[in-house]
Amino acid sequence: MSPAPCAAGTMRTSHYAPSVLIHWTRQMLWRLLAALSVLLGVIGAFLPVLPTVPFLLLAAWAAGRGWPELEAKLLAHPKYGPMIIHWREQGAVPRRAKWLASIMMCCSAVMLWFSPVPPWVRGSVWFTLIVVATWLWRRPEPAPPPDQGNQASAG
């Protein structure tokens, strides 16, 4: 392949340069999404109106595409790692998380009732909350580890 002239008057000898730039850009975008999701998850750990785990699920997914080190840290986290792993392997949500999410959605619906919003907004949000709660409760719960299942049946 013959070199192609560049705008600065130099010769470009590699036709791989644009693909490297595209790869780097994609990786940075995945990392940006992962970092933003972790930030929102951390904020959600302190604000009851913002969920933590869905943002960490998004962060782990994005990190798996552009930041393997962050993905490994998220999966190894003592509190949130098992939830991410259960979601990935089984699409499972712990019962405690289902109850907490449902209670928070009910609190949001009550607060919305007393808010000065148009009825169509109130109805749309309530419908969305009902759909999300229905979907959430239809998700399986994490299967117990094999050794716990055997102990429960033996006792």
Q: Domains of the chain: which residue ranges? A: 24-91, 93-142
Averaged confidence pLDDT in the chain: 86
How many Å apart are CA 52 and CA 133, to the nearest integer?
17
Residues 62-90 have a mean pLDDT of 94
Per-residue model confidence (pLDDT) at position 16: 60
Question: Which residues, 6+ apart, have CB-to-CB distance to 98 below 8 Å?
Answer: 136, 137, 139, 141
Confidence band, pLDDT 50/70/90 cuts, at residue 4: low
Share of residues in the chain with pLDDT > 70 (%): 85
Per-residue model confidence (pLDDT) at position 155: 45
Residues 144-154 have a mean pLDDT of 61
At residue 12, does pLDDT exceed 60? no
How many Å apart are CA 59 and CA 53, to the nearest integer?
9
Residues 35-56 have a mean pLDDT of 90
Would the pTM count as exceeding 0.85? no
